[in-house]
Amino acid sequence: TFLLADSRSGLRYVVPTDPSGGRTFNDNRMWCYRRGRYCKEGEEPDPQYVWTNELQQAYEAALSCNAAEDHAASPSPIQVEAT
């Protein structure tokens, strides 16, 4: 996961580095942007964290940038893990 900041609200959204979130096609759990994970049974996503088209565009741009960096990077013994 990584953080995506909304400059208007000041909220930081925890988003998955994999757009599928690693879930299977029939998993209908909601993603909680505050918790940075799928909601467990009985949980609801935080209603203050509303996903917008602007956030979606920023998310897609961040994923594209990361993919381009990964592709251009040479092999290194040091690995950085997103949190």
The string of DSSP codes covering the chain is -EEEE-TTT--EEEE-SSTTTT--TT--PPEETTTTEEPPTT----TT----HHHHHHHHHHHHHHHHHHHHPPP-S------
Distance CA 83, CA 69 (A): 18
Q: How confident is the model at residue 68 (pLDDT cuts 50, 70, 90)?
A: low
What average pLDDT does range 5-22 have in this prediction?
87
Amino acid present at 26: N
Average pLDDT, the chain: 80
What average pLDDT does range 52-70 have in this prediction?
84
